[in-house]
Structure 1
Amino acid sequence: MAEYIAVFLEKLHQKGKAKLTIQAYQQDLLQLLGVINYLKLDVGSLERNHILYALKQLSAKGQSPKSIARHLSAWRQFCAFLVEESILEYNPCQGVKPPKLPNRLPKALTVENTQLLLDNVQSHNVLEVRDKAIFELMYSSGLRLSEVTHLDIHDLSFSEGIVKVLGKGSKERIVPVGQTALTALKNYLVVRAGSETQKALFTSRLGSRLSNRQIQNRLVRWSELAGSDRRVTPHMFRHSFASHMLQESGDLRAVQELLGHSNLNTTQIYTSLDFKHLATIYDQAHPRAKRKQK
């Protein structure tokens, strides 16, 4: 089987896969090779029950669900290659499900830390005025980074206090913009760089459309200046918007619409963000939870 692994890895190299990616595939496939050797199998006789046995071995060694899922993905692609080479009649990984991964809670800032960061953004020059407008808009309307960089000037309506956003799947939605963000945007448009033909709302100092990376780098700079003890990303503003809105309103459907989620389950994860807040509400509201006054 080792020779087939070598050919498979070479094909990955020819497809332009990164060196570290190929090394990860190699390590995952060596795990499968170890099981095949232990069971004294020919690669052509590999079956579904052997894959399941190999997965159980990974679990017994304490591998995390994420690691096991990665192994299975590598094995599935390798077995597909063996089918193409007529070494296997079918892919034994087909239909084998990886272990269920635990839900990751989105990383959100507290209300206080969000306010501190936004208030720390200065407005002494064009770039700072622009940065403040970007960050205020992201937090005000819960926009994705890509949605921000794709905004054109005509997408913004000051009279109605809304912004038209092109989200995932090219789905358009209309989102309210708060007064603080509108003020920051008005200040920015006065000094915005760019020619009359440049439609982009947010531009670089040279007048070109701002990229995702440029916004990410500027936010890192401002979070460091604000003394943040964690790396703040643009998506944290979206997560913070969602959790803060949900905490105050409790309206899951409304937050779903504002975020542009097609599935309510995607929005529902934000209900787990602030258990302390929920616990406080529980203590105050539930008849059997109220503590006796001393």
Structure 2
Amino acid sequence: MDEFVSKNTLVAGMEPSSEIAFRTKQVRDSVTNPAFSYINSLSATNSIGGRANAKYLIERFTLHFLGPSYEKISWERFINEPSFAIKAIAGYLRYQAQQKAYYSGEEISQEQPFFNLHIKPVLTALSIVGDQLLLQRQITIQQHEAWIDLIFNTDFSKTNHLPYGSLLPSESLITMDLSSVPSNVIKALESFSCFLITSCISRFNWDQFLMAPVVKAMMTNYFDLGIIKNGKKIRPYSPSTVENTYRMLCGVAEHHWLAENMTVERLQRIKAIKLAKGSRNSSGRFITFDDLDSMLSIIDSHPNPIRITRDKAMISLMFYSGLRRQEIVNLRVCDIDWSEFFISVIGKGNKERVVPFSPDSEAANYLREWINILTDSDSEAEFAGQHVFTKVSKSKRVTKSSLTTQSVNDVCKWISVRLSKTISPHDFRHTAATNLLKQGHDLLTVSAVLGHASPNTTQRYDKRGSESLKKTTIQRV
């Protein structure tokens, strides 16, 4: 166990109370690492532009220069020390649950700590590691079989776990061939490796990087290569991705300056870097009323009648109001004013707004039907603070646990498969913006309803352009 190191005795020593240890780590990182300091300063949301998205973009940038973390793990040890492997996997899963709860502002269930956590990709990734070790004759067939049995037949929620950053980086004895491995499995392997040796953001030397000439050169190198798949460039980065990444790096530099680790002149030089301009059409899709009818019919085919009522209320409300996923899951019964017909919403940036709705719309009718089901199990006082959209058990009972943003994604994916058309939660916002503008409402009003900081964002959501362009053709007179 000579590789095992406790990088912080406070965290390692508090293993029995891992939730406190996790929060302590978050505070420590926000003080000592300018990237984490910047990420933690953002709005507490896991939607685009929030902490989770910033962490993903910065992690991807630093990964490009540090190389894959899974190449810095001695994987042979996992095979030879099953007890160590179990603790490592259990620690990773708990850490992922903590991350998810931290970014979404939720609590971890003590009975089901890994509930709604996508575990299969990381277990598949670790089975592929075993396959690679077997192919390169680093382990025997018996060891390989025992490894597969261990990772797929262990209840990791009931085992001891290692804390974050328990290993020092080292050179792996195997060279991984992941050319035919799905991207989500590779991401899971990278994520698991980062848990063991700390993330690329933690290992990146920010002080040496945060100088204008270095930032400019490394950004040019990173963006020129574009998006790589199977060793080949499949497309360049979009101008918005380039701009967002640069904006976030400027944010990291600003927090390095706030920590008194760089001069204001050095910060201003970084902010003076000029980027090539450009734009792309919004990737959002427009959902027609016919699509909505088809989606509601698909929901009707679900075997759980309680879930049918809930999902019809949720989908129709998203269509007519354009609420974000996080706003949908945070919505409480007391936020809906049935006398004035508006919904109070706390959106991104902790900004409150009101979203009107029509009392005669499908959304209002389905919402009334769903709320009537909710009232059956709560007193009036308890009911007012209840989340509107809660989980439904397999036994067809309403629970008091709020849906998660992943739950909203899963409902949309379930519908998309049966609709044979990709639908994402964010498409409803593009649709709401387009429909409101079609009906003659001005841009500023629509922007206020959707909770956009700038009308320019609302303008990008407008899908009327594609319809108008189809009619803009030269005809023989």
**Alignment partner, residue 113 of structure 1:** 291
- Following TM superposition, by how much is the alpha carbon of 1:75 offset from its aligned partner in structure 2, in angstroms? 10
- Following TM superposition, by how much is the alpha carbon of 1:76 offset from its aligned partner in structure 2, in angstroms? 9.3
Q: Partners in 2 of 1:131 and 1:172 — Cα distance?
A: 24
Q: Partners in 1 of 2:346 and 2:220 — Cα distance?
A: 44
- Following TM superposition, by how much is the alpha carbon of 1:133 offset from its aligned partner in structure 2, in angstroms? 0.4
Cα deviation 1:46-71 (Å, max 9, x = unaligned):
97557656666667767645469758
- Following TM superposition, by how much is the alpha carbon of 1:90 offset from its aligned partner in structure 2, in angstroms? 3.9
- Contact kept in structure 2, 1:164 and 1:173, CA below 8 Å: yes
**Alignment partner, residue 378 of structure 2:** 195
How many equivalent pairs are there? 261
Partner residue of 1:204 out of 373, 385, 391: 391
1:109 alignment partner, SS class:
coil
2:324 counterpart of 1:133: no
Partner residue of 1:227 out of 420, 439, 455: 420
- Following TM superposition, by how much is the alpha carbon of 1:247 offset from its aligned partner in structure 2, in angstroms? 3.1
Q: Partners in 1 of 2:409 and 2:285 — Cα distance?
A: 16
Q: Partners in 1 of 2:444 and 2:266 — Cα distance?
A: 45
Partner residue of 2:65 out of 21, 25, 28: 28
More displaced stretch, 20-29 vs 181-190:
20-29
- Structure 1: segments with no counterpart, 5+ residues: 1-10, 31-42, 284-288
1:207 alignment partner, SS class:
strand
- Following TM superposition, by how much is the alpha carbon of 1:152 offset from its aligned partner in structure 2, in angstroms? 1.6
Q: Partners in 2 of 1:240 and 1:20 — Cα distance?
A: 27
Decide whether aligned partners of structure 1 residues 148 and 81 sit closer, same or farther in structure 2, where only a CA change above 3 A counts.
Answer: closer
1:204 alignment partner, SS class:
strand
2:424 counterpart of 1:249: no
2:354 counterpart of 1:173: yes
TM-score by length of 1: 0.67
Q: Partners in 2 of 1:220 and 1:24 — Cα distance?
A: 29
1:121 alignment partner, SS class:
helix
Percent identity over the alignment is: 21
- Following TM superposition, by how much is the alpha carbon of 1:130 offset from its aligned partner in structure 2, in angstroms? 0.5
1:191 alignment partner, SS class:
helix
Decide whether aligned partners of structure 1 residues 251 and 172 sit closer, same or farther in structure 2, where only a CA change above 3 A counts.
Answer: closer
**Alignment partner, residue 95 of structure 1:** 272
**What letter corresponds to residue 164 of structure 1 in structure 2?**
S
Cα deviation 1:221-267 (Å, max 9, x = unaligned):
12223332x2x221111111212332343643332232122422121
1:164 alignment partner, SS class:
strand
Decide whether aligned partners of structure 1 residues 262 and 61 sit closer, same or farther in structure 2, where only a CA change above 3 A counts.
Answer: closer
Q: How does 1:38-53 map to 2 (within 5 A)?
A: 48=212, 52=216
- Structure 2: segments with no counterpart, 5+ residues: 1-31, 40-54, 68-206, 227-235, 393-398
TM-score by length of 2: 0.44
Q: Partners in 2 of 1:128 and 1:243 — Cα distance?
A: 27
**Alignment partner, residue 146 of structure 1:** 326
Decide whether aligned partners of structure 1 residues 191 and 50 sit closer, same or farther in structure 2, where only a CA change above 3 A counts.
Answer: closer
Decide whether aligned partners of structure 1 residues 279 and 128 sit closer, same or farther in structure 2, where only a CA change above 3 A counts.
Answer: same
- Contact kept in structure 1, 2:437 and 2:443, CA below 8 Å: yes
1:105 alignment partner, SS class:
coil
Decide whether aligned partners of structure 1 residues 180 and 73 sit closer, same or farther in structure 2, where only a CA change above 3 A counts.
Answer: closer
Cα deviation 1:115-138 (Å, max 9, x = unaligned):
322332217611111111011111
More displaced stretch, 198-207 vs 47-56:
47-56
